[in-house]
Structure 1
Amino acid sequence: MKALVKHLGVADYAKTYAAMQAFTKERDTNTVDEIWVLEHPPVFTLGLAGDSSNLHSPSNQIPMVQVDRGGEITYHGPGQLVVYLLLDLKRLGIYVKELVFRIEQALIDTLSEFGVKAERKVGAPGIYIAEQEQMPREWIGAKVAALGLKVSKSCSYHGLALNVATDLEAFGRIHPCGYEGLKTVDMQTLGIKDNIDRISQVLLQHLQKHLMLDGLNELDNTR
């Protein structure tokens, strides 16, 4: 299967959210899948099952947007690699649970390439720092990537967010994914100095492999 990768730079969350919804509503069985790679200005997003009280320390500078993905509250901001997956699951021959598993594996494999062992946690979608040598104890079990998806007409949108060089203070204003006391970390804090463009290239390679996409045609919309 083919997919078109669009690099969107720093993109307004509300406009991007509306564009994802419109793309999914208007697509048909011949529409080429798309993968959007971007960053957002600071924003909190609250999923369908979310409890707004999990934003325990609101900020006048950071808005909160209610959205139609699964999951709880999370934060998006500069230095966080966001990848939206607009895929026809029926055409790919997979269900949403399998999609989640494959996205998680792509993230685990990506982090492994940069020397970080990461893992899943049952009942807590996302990717977490695993027990490993030469890793500060405070970051074992910390969340480094989040997932949230919506499926409509067998087509997915929303996607994943990997913390590369992110404002961790903003995560301190929420109970990430509804879990009080859950620590959040980024790759920079773990000592990884590669820039977000390099990390996105590696992640896209692993997504291509795990999602059985035999060709990613890239389009740079940031210029």
Structure 2
Amino acid sequence: VFTQGQAGKAEHILLPGDIPVIQVDRGGQVTYHGPGQLVIYLLIDLTRRKLGVRNLVSAIEQAIVRTLAQGGIEAAPRSDAPGVYVNGAKIASLGLRVRRGCSFHGLALNVNMDMEPFSRINPCGYAGMSMCQVSDFEAGASVYDLERRLVSELVEGLGHCQVEQRQGW
């Protein structure tokens, strides 16, 4: 499925074909979600945790960077475009909404998936943005292993919090 955030523009959906386009109330532009991608929603009371939105985004990005480093992948965020990148290609996307001091939505980490649908859009509103996935750099990468590692890093980076896991697809 393609999800189009509140800032999304129709011209960034180039050739959706048979993939549904869903309007969602998160920030950001258009992205693709499919099997082999780890999606984590972070529902956090930012006021209670005394956490600002920029601090939350930074904590999420750094948790992803640390998770990827465990597999020998050197990654970094970019100041001009939220998310995490490896050699200039985006490996993880963020799409958040904050309402009444609470965060909604979260992140998508490309692990081991069909990357072709990203060529049908301008990912995150950037024409020609290169996308990559963990399996490009870490042989045998699985959503299950990345989930365990990333959840652990998120809990560490954001402080103790309740974790509830649900699986779909």
Asked whether the equivalents of residues 38 and 108 of structure 2 are also in contact (C-alpha less than 8 Å), the reply is yes
Aligned to 2:12: 54
8 A contact 1:114–1:192 mirrored in 2: no
Determine which of 144, 152, 163 is the counterpart of 1:205.
152
The 3-state SS of whatever aligns with 1:191 is coil
Partners of 2:138 and 2:167 in 1: CA distance: 30
Mapping of residues 1-223 of structure 1, within 5 Å: 43-60=1-18, 62-129=19-86, 140-213=87-160, 216=162, 218=164
Max Rg structure:
1
CA distance in structure 1 between the aligned counterparts of 2:22 and 2:84, rounded to whole angstroms? 23
Deviations 1:71-112 (A, max 9, x none): 111000000000001111111110111100000000000000
1:57 is displaced (CA, Å) by 1.2
> Retained in 2: the 8 A contact 1:89–1:156?
yes
CA distance in 1, matches of 2:167, 2:130: 34
Q: Using the TM superposition, name which of 48-57 and 102-111 deviates more.
A: 48-57
- How many pairs does the alignment contain? 168
TM-score of the two chains, using structure 2 as the length reference: 0.94
1:55 deviation in Å?
0.9
Q: CA–CA distance in 2 between the matches of 1:220 and 1:174?
A: 28
Q: Percent identity?
A: 45
Deviation at 1:193, TM superposition (A): 1.0
- Cα gap change, 1:108/1:217 in structure 2, threshold over 3 Å: closer, same or farther? closer
Amino acid at match of 1:77: G
Distance in 1 (CA, whole Å) between partners of 2:120 and 2:166 is: 33
- Counterpart CA distance in 2 for 1:203 and 1:162 is 10
- 2:135 is paired with a residue whose SS is coil
Aligned mates of 1:152, 1:217 — CA distance in 2: 21
Change (3 A) 1:52 1:221: closer
Alpha-carbon separation, structure 2, partners of 1:150 and 1:218: 19
CA 1:210/1:194 → structure 2, altered by over 3 Å: closer, same or farther? same
